[in-house]
Structure 1
Amino acid sequence: MQKKKILLLSVSAGAGHKRAAEAIRATALQQSEELEVSHLDVMDFVTAGFRKVYTDFYIKLVNKAPTLWGYLYHATNEAQADGTMEKLRRGIERLNARPLLQAIADFQPDVIICTHFLPAEMLSRLLRKERLHCPVWVQVTDFDLHRMWVHEHMAGYFAASEEVADRMRANGIAAGQIHVTGIPIMPAFTQHLDRTVCAREFGLDPACQTFMLMGGGAGLGGLDKVAERLLSLPGHFQLIVLAGNNAPALHALQQLAQRYPGRLLPQGFTDKVERLMACSDLVITKPGGLTTSECLAMGLPMIVNSPIPGQEERNADFLLEQGVAMKAYDDVSLTYRVNYLLQHPDKLRDMHDKARALGKPHAASQVLQQILGQAS
């Protein structure tokens, strides 16, 4: 039997779009040997100049000028599709599409899933001109819907929540094309992990309350300074700090850990985030769509810090409204909220229960079930 071919298209503007595509790919390969799955980053097929503007400029903007990024996010959401600037933008994108279109033709997919709006926009035009003949699906990767995700001729859309689905309908997408699956996360986050086993792997006490501070602490200062403030709070708890590839931060945390033996676990880059989450009672993180979906799947309440205006701000609003997160504006507000939860364990338990109920750990499986059912 010929294998069904699934092509995943993402864009490396931030990590979330690629992680969502990889989650679908990993789930597909885990579930069936009758699928051939390929994941392409659209930025590998464009000119260096276009890539620099599209990804490097985005990353610099959200890190150095988040207010400006927020303005652009809202301005482009309100822009008229037939406006001069929008026409110019789409023209530039089309000029950069040819190598990608050749790669699609070479793979000959049975179905395409876009985890970023750029490839969806490129392929919408091809579908309209009948130069592409396989269904194209769109997976939105935040708890919000920007207008740039909405395009004609898509086979269907996958929404993170009922509210996002409602916004899709308000933007003219037919109700029958919308499926509320959640945001795809890696299969590792769907496992039932034993806290005691995981804690012992890292030298943690499974009976001790444990908080996790994830890297990217923009607005909070250095990770070691934040960790030191938290560890100075009254009450006994363990703190896991993920420094990622930030070697200076990891070194500073390792020095700090010597002053708090048995209480601070610094970690650099790790592929065991789900096992560390299984040891945790709370996660302090930026409110990206993928990271927060992983937390919800693990039943973990959050303190979200310094969301960038735009999609992260909307993600934070959603989490706060659902009662699964608190929001910290700076290191003082973070310290206050952690101290509050230490003194009010019932509040933390309530947030945990709501997070568990809200989580959608099997989003990737539901996406595959839908597209394969439609393709068969």
Structure 2
Amino acid sequence: MTQKKILLLSVSAGAGHMRAAEAIRAHAGADVLAIHLDVMNFVTAGFRKLYTDFYIALVNKAPTLWGYLYQASNDAPPDSSMQRLRRGVERLNTRALLKEITAFKPDAIVCTHFLPAEILSRSLRKQELHCPVWVQVTDFDLHRMWVHEHMSGYFAANEEVAFRMRACGIGAGQIHVTGIPIMPAFGQAHERAACARAFGLDPQRTTILLMGGGAGLGSLEMIAARLLALDGTFQLVVLAGKNAQALAALQALAARHPGRLLAQGFTDQVERLMACADLVVTKPGGLTTSECLAMGLPMIVNSPIPGQEERNADFLLEQGVALKAFDAVTLEYRIRHLLDQPAKLADMAAKARALGRPGAARQVLQRVLGDTPA
């Protein structure tokens, strides 16, 4: 049997787009050759620096400005001079990507970022590309930059995003409400007691998982110290990622609070740590929050950046699966509130589980393969 060739295109401006593509690729069987490319590996150095480094610096150091640009670019007419200039710059800097696509000869393409979708829309219009192109939106919101002509279909996180797609002129038959793709591990059953023992945690104790600080909350060490000063016997797990300095500070703090704090660096076992947790404190990225929902975990979302994270937070709050903390004092209050009301925490967990879509990546791949000629 000839393998079907699926090309997944993402952009390393934030990790979520990449993780969504990897989640779809993880569901490919032996009859599918699924390749994932980061568009930033096929652009000029200057364009890469502008597109990724500038974006990351902006959301970290000037979030209010980013929020303005997010809304302004959403409201700008597609045929405005600024939009035409932007698209022209993109075309000049992405020729290597088009050559790579031509060489691979995919049967279908799935874009988990709007940039490749925009580039390929032009190629489809000019009949330089002859395979279907699909778009996976990775937030609980829809920005106009995701919407392009000649796409074969769109995958939406929920019914509201699908509604917004139709309002932007996308045909109802092109829209599929699948959820946001996450890795298979987040859809599997993990036995809490076994996972807890593997990490040296007590499965009987309330466990809070802290996955990110920054913005108005302060450093991870500061947040952890503040939470450990609260009354109660809960355990705290803090993920420092690749931040070696934060990890060292957290490990020193853990030594002063034996049995109460587990400090972790980069790990590929996030789903097993989530299985130990009763509550997650996290930034409201589309992928991370989708993982929490699949695991049935209530959230406190902290300091969302204006734009897509703010919209994600709004959705989660409206659904009753999260509270929001905009500074360290609010975070302390929210945690005290939930620890004092276990029934409230249990209700949030049940609602999160009901909202979770652990099979999103599989559904996306099945739809793409089903609509791809043999």
TM > 0.5 fold call: yes
2:127 alignment partner in structure 1: 130
Match among 37, 45, 54 for residue 57 of structure 1:
54
- Stretches of structure 1 lacking an aligned partner (at least 5 in a row): none
- What is the rounded CA distance, in whole Å, between the counterparts of 2:340 and 2:214 in structure 1? 24
Aligned-pair distance for 1:373? 0.9
Partner of 2:328: 331
The match for 1:255 among 246, 252, 256 is: 252
CA deviation vs aligned residue, 1:44-102 (integer Å, no higher than 9, x gap)? 11111111111100000000000000000000000011110000000111111210011
Which letter maps to 1:61?
L
- Counterpart of 1:316, as a letter, is A
Alignment pair present for 1:268 and 2:265: yes
Correspondence for 2:217: 220
Q: Deviations over 1:187-219 (max 9, x none)?
A: 111110000000000000001110000134332
Cα separation, 2, equivalents of 1:205 and 1:132: 56
TM-score by length of 1: 0.98
Q: Distance in 1 between matches of 2:270 and 2:254?
A: 20
What secondary structure sits across from 1:113 in the alignment? strand
Amino acid paired to 1:373 = G
Q: Which residue of 2 aligns with 1:171?
A: 168
Contact 1:215–1:244 (CA under 8 A) maintained in structure 2: no
In structure 1, the partner of 2:314 is 317
Amino acid in structure 2 at the alignment position of 1:299: G
Moved over 6 A (4+): none
2:314 is aligned with what amino acid?
D
Deviations for 1:321-371, whole angstroms, at most 9, x for unmatched residues? Answer: 000000001000000000000100010000000000000001000001111
SS, match of residue 176 in structure 1:
helix
Q: How does 1:113-262 map to 2 (within 5 A)?
A: 113-262=110-259
Q: Secondary structure at 1:39's aligned position in 2?
A: strand
Q: Partner residue of 2:358?
A: 361
In structure 1, the partner of 2:27 is: 27
Contact 1:285 1:303 (C-alpha < 8 Å) held by counterparts: yes
Q: How many residues align?
A: 373
Contact 1:23 1:364 (8 Å CA) reproduced: yes
Q: Report the equivalent of 2:12.
A: 12
Q: Does 1:348 align with 2:329?
A: no
C-alpha separation in 2, matches of 1:201 and 1:167: 44
Q: How much has 1:10 moved relative to structure 2?
A: 0.4
Deviation at 1:172, TM superposition (A): 0.2
SS at match of 1:353: helix
Q: Distance in 2 between matches of 1:232 and 1:42?
A: 45
CA distance in structure 1 between the aligned counterparts of 2:275 and 2:12, rounded to whole angstroms: 28
Amino acid corresponding to residue 367 of structure 1 in structure 2? V
After the TM superposition, which residues 99-118 of structure 1 pair with which residues of structure 2 at under 5 Å, given as runs? 99-118=96-115
Cα distance between partner residues in 2 of 1:153 and 1:266: 48
Amino acid at match of 1:13: A
Kindly indicate whether the alpha-carbon contact (under 8 Å) linking 2:166 and 2:172 is maintained by their aligned counterparts in 1. Answer: yes
Q: Percent identity among equivalent residues? A: 75
Secondary structure, aligned partner of 2:248? helix
CA contact (8 A) 1:217 1:286 kept: no
- Provide the rounded CA distance (Å) in 2 between the counterparts of 1:336 and 1:374: 50
What is the SS of the residue equivalent to 1:336?
Answer: helix
Following superposition, the deviation at residue 116 of structure 1 comes to 0.4
1: CA distance, partners of 2:247 / 2:46? 34
Displacement of 1:236: 1.1
Q: Find the aligned partners of 1:97 and 1:340 in 2 and give their Cα distance.
A: 50
CA distance in 1, matches of 2:232, 2:139: 35
1:110 Cα offset (Å): 0.2
Partner of 1:95, secondary structure, is helix
Instruction: Output the CA distance in 2 between the equivalents of 1:315 and 1:246.
Output: 25
Partners of 1:99 and 1:340 in 2: how far apart? 53
Alpha-carbon separation, structure 1, partners of 2:137 and 2:20: 9
Alpha-carbon separation, structure 1, partners of 2:6 and 2:369: 9
Matched AA of 1:247 = A
| Letter matched to residue 5 of structure 1 | K
Deviations 1:264-288 (A, max 9, x none): 0000010100000000001000000
The answer to which of 215-224 and 270-279 deviates more is 215-224
8 A Cα contact 2:13 2:55, kept in partner = yes
Say which SS state the counterpart of residue 276 (structure 1) adopts: helix
Q: Which deviations, in whole Å up to 9, do the C-alpha atoms of 1:271-317 show, x marking residues without a partner?
A: 10000000000100000000000000000010000000000000000
Hey, what does 1:2 align to over in structure 2? 2
For 1:372, which of 364, 369, 372 is the aligned residue? Answer: 369
Are 2:43 and 2:96, in contact at CA under 8 Å, matched by a contact in 1? yes
- Answer whether contact 2:213 2:223 (CA < 8 A) is retained: no
